[in-house]
Amino acid sequence: MEKLDTTMTEATSEPAEAVPPGTIVNRSGRRILKVKMVDETDPFLLAGYKLAQYSDYDKLEKLGEGTYGVVSKVRHRPSKQIVAFKKVKLEMEEEGVPATTIREIALLKALVHKHIVRLYEFIMHNKNLYLVFEFVQMDMQQYLQLKQPIDAAIVKRMSYQLTSGIHFCHSRGVLHRDLKPQNLLVNNEGDLKIADFGLGRDHGVPMSMLTHEVVTLWYRCPEILFGTNVYGTGVDIWAIGCIVAELHIYRALFRGDSEIDQLFQIFQVFGTPTSASWPGIEDLQDHCKRFPVWKCKNLRKVVPTATSACADFIRRCLIMDPQRRFCGWQALQHPYFKDVHTGHTVCPKAFEFEDHEPMYQCMDEPG
Ligand SMILES: Nc1ncnc2c1ncn2[C@@H]1O[C@H](COP(=O)(O)OP(=O)(O)OP(=O)(O)O)[C@@H](O)[C@H]1O
Ligand SMILES: [Mg+2]
């Protein structure tokens, strides 16, 4: 993987229009990010093409629009390759390139993995920043809206790909923090790619005082709903549990319209947590001793098409106490994935594990 050079540098005299590829400058021309452009694994560079020329792209269609800009399908004329452009409107920003974008670029350039959308390049043009991503045919939200029955083997494969991509991020100190179907892309072969690291951040140091409003409510874990400022990889594992369930039931598992409604929907499935099931819960900011008491349900009543191994996997991702929730490595080891058919997407070497005796007995489900 390429080495990043993200050091802040002294002010340069280069005007904004003459910014070399791979560089971000702020309004006064100060260079604030420089990423090495030589990447031996970049298929475009290997084919001898440089992507960093704005005028080489033709816009084909708009794919999506979010907080920071528009995503479009474009053609790189010289190579005829289709790629996705994420335009970031810099003129709206008081201080030039938004910090989240700088973070997204630095993170993504370093996260080269089969199940993470590939960032090839970035270009500054007319005070806009364009991120050049590999193009992926649809997002998981659109895929679910096709309302075609999804084969259990495909659900398992996508779940595995999602888990392996997230484990890769976590093992490199990166949390995604906004996993949801709209941020997961699915290509024509049914392979999943994790996208939109706009809100991701390095969780190496410090891991405290991270912002509250980072995970979309429906996929938000209980510790954040309870107001904690200190959280870790469990935020993404929780979202994985929600998404795997959604792949079975074709709608979000918990669809709260407020933080408290979201928590209560979770309690109605997993039971109201107590200091026995979640030691330390009483110390959390928004915990209340007088929450209504719900009993734990059998998850297979909520996700009826899940096999018992799959229901066990979901349940372990959705353990309310983050200390007891799965980590990515454990999740990949779960018996649910024992016979995962990865098809042409062979499990990458980094995730070949030694043969273990089965680590899990399925958790007891209430009747
Ligand atoms: N590489 C891509 N290929 C095809 N479609 C994409 C690609 N990246 C994004 N999209 C589409 O565009 C939509 C928005 O993209 P993305 O999630 O990256 O931006 P966003 O939601 O605007 O970001 P933010 O959360 O930072 O506001 C996605 O939900 C997806 O439908
Ligand atoms: Mg998004």
User: Which residue among 73, 178, 196 is best mutated to probe the pocket of ligand 1, counting the most ligand atoms within 8 A of its Cβ?
Assistant: 196
Note the pLDDT of residue 216.
Answer: 77
Q: How confident is the model at residue 8 (pLDDT cuts 50, 70, 90)?
A: very low
Name the residue with higher pLDDT: 87 or 41.
Answer: 87
CATH number at residue 277: 1.10.510.10
Residue 364 lies in a domain: no
Residue 219 lies in a domain: yes
- Total domain count for the chain? 2
Residue 46 lies in a domain: yes
Give the residue numbers annotated as catalytic, written as ranges: 178
Last residue of a domain, one of 134, 152, 178: 134
Q: What is the pLDDT of residues 316-346, one digit of tens each?
A: 999 999 999 999 999 999 999 998 877 544 3
Note the pLDDT of residue 118.
Answer: 92
Residue 55 lies in a domain: yes
Residue 227 lies in a domain: yes
Residue 285 lies in a domain: yes
Helix axes 308-317, 234-249, angle to 10 degrees: 140
39 lines ligand 1 (CB under 6 A): no
Closest residue by CA, ligand 1 atom 18: 196
Looking at the fold, whether 76 and 145 belong to one and the same domain comes out as: no
Beginning with the edge strand found earlier in the chain, give each strand of the sheet holding 69-76 in spatial order.
57-65, 69-76, 81-89, 128-134, 119-125
pLDDT over 70 for what percent of the chain? Answer: 70
Looking at the fold, whether 148 and 275 belong to one and the same domain comes out as: yes
Q: Answer whether residue 63 shows pLDDT above 70.
A: yes
Looking at the fold, whether 198 and 292 belong to one and the same domain comes out as: yes
Residue 294 lies in a domain: yes
CA of residue 217 to ligand 2 center, whole Å: 14
Last residue of a domain, one of 99, 134, 169: 134
Ligand 1 atom with the smallest distance to the CA of 182 is: 29
Looking at the fold, whether 123 and 260 belong to one and the same domain comes out as: no
Note the pLDDT of residue 190.
Answer: 87
User: Which residue among 122, 139, 201, 214 is best mutated to probe the pocket of ligand 1, counting the most ligand atoms within 8 A of its Cβ?
Assistant: 139
Q: Which ligand is nearest to the CA of 119?
A: 1
Q: Answer whether residue 195 shows pLDDT above 90.
A: yes
Q: How far apart are CA 299 and CA 308, in angstroms?
A: 9
Q: How confident is the model at residue 104 (pLDDT cuts 50, 70, 90)?
A: low
Looking at the fold, whether 153 and 289 belong to one and the same domain comes out as: yes
Q: How far apart are CA 301 and CA 308, in angstroms?
A: 11
CA of residue 79 to ligand 1 center, whole Å: 23
pLDDT over 90 for what percent of the chain? Answer: 50
Note the pLDDT of residue 65.
Answer: 82
Q: How confident is the model at residue 90 (pLDDT cuts 50, 70, 90)?
A: low
Looking at the fold, whether 211 and 72 belong to one and the same domain comes out as: no
Looking at the fold, whether 97 and 159 belong to one and the same domain comes out as: no
Looking at the fold, whether 125 and 252 belong to one and the same domain comes out as: no
Looking at the fold, whether 201 and 113 belong to one and the same domain comes out as: no
Residue 193 lies in a domain: yes
Looking at the fold, whether 47 and 149 belong to one and the same domain comes out as: no
Last residue of a domain, one of 82, 113, 134: 134
Ligand 1 atom with the smallest distance to the CA of 142 is: 31
Q: Which ligand is nearest to the CA of 133?
A: 1
CATH number at residue 91: 3.30.200.20
67 lines ligand 1 (CB under 6 A): yes
Phi, psi of 154 (to 5 degrees): -75, -40
CA of residue 119 to ligand 1 center, whole Å: 12
Looking at the fold, whether 36 and 156 belong to one and the same domain comes out as: no
Name the residue with higher pLDDT: 83 or 94.
Answer: 83
Ligand 1 atom with the smallest distance to the CA of 117 is: 1
Note the pLDDT of residue 16.
Answer: 39
Note the pLDDT of residue 126.
Answer: 83
68 lines ligand 1 (CB under 6 A): yes
Q: What is the pLDDT of residues 215-247, one digit of tens each?
A: 579 999 999 999 888 889 999 999 999 999 999
Most confident of 9-23, 152-166, 278-292: 152-166
Q: What is the pLDDT of residues 253-309, one digit of tens each?
A: 999 999 999 999 999 999 999 999 999 898 888 788 789 999 999 999 999 999 999
Q: How confident is the model at residue 160 (pLDDT cuts 50, 70, 90)?
A: very high
Most confident of 169-173, 251-255, 281-285, 353-357: 251-255
Ligand 1 atom with the smallest distance to the CA of 136 is: 3
Closest residue by CA, ligand 1 atom 27: 67
140 lines ligand 1 (CB under 6 A): no
Looking at the fold, whether 115 and 218 belong to one and the same domain comes out as: no
Domain that holds residue 283: 138-337
User: pTM for this one?
Assistant: 0.81
98 lines ligand 1 (CB under 6 A): no
Judging by DSSP bridges, how do beta strands 81-89 and 69-76 pair with one another?
antiparallel
Tell me the β-bridge partners of 202: 174
Q: How far apart are CA 64 and CA 71, in angstroms?
A: 5
